[in-house]
Amino acid sequence: MDLKIIEKKEEPLLSRTKIVSEMNFEAATPSSKEVKSKIASLLNADEKLIVVKNIYTDFGFKKADVSAYLYKDEKEMGIIEIKPKKAEAKEKKAETKEEKPQAKEEKQKESKEEKPQEKKAEAKPKAQEKPKDKAEK
């Protein structure tokens, strides 16, 4: 896979550099992860700071046009870039998994305290209901 950088445009207001490049490849179109690592090696930058926006290919050709952004730091990248919904869902699941063991312990403590009271309260109405049922029959 050969990657040639065609254009680098500085965008100071967004703290990033726009990179337009051309890529030649042998087999299938490379994934965005592969392109990201190749751009990082060419620019001597951290892969975490690169976002590949588009990989455009023409049918039947082993050539693609790539547009990507190189951010100056992760904080700026987090503010500007939109996280995919799948990533957000994973973060929420991770948070709830951490909270669930604590919540379960609290529920168990509460249920242990409430169960004896409920049993006593439930036992009395059942005893009262049985004679009514027999009287109705």
pLDDT tens figures, 90-135: 777 777 776 666 656 666 666 666 555 555 555 555 555 555 555 5
Domain assignment present for residue 132? The answer is no
Question: Among 10-24, 55-69, 70-84, 98-112, which stretch is predicted with the lowest mean pLDDT?
Answer: 98-112
Domain assignment present for residue 133? The answer is no
> Based on the domain organization, do 91 and 50 belong to the same domain?
no
Domain assignment present for residue 32? The answer is yes
CA nearest neighbour of 69 among 13, 25, 23, 15: 15
Instruction: Tell me the percentage of the chain whose pLDDT exceeds 90.
Output: 47
Question: Which residue range forms the structural domain that includes residue 35?
Answer: 2-82
In this prediction the pTM is 0.61
> Based on the domain organization, do 95 and 75 belong to the same domain?
no
Alpha-carbon gap, residue 64 to 74, rounded angstroms: 27
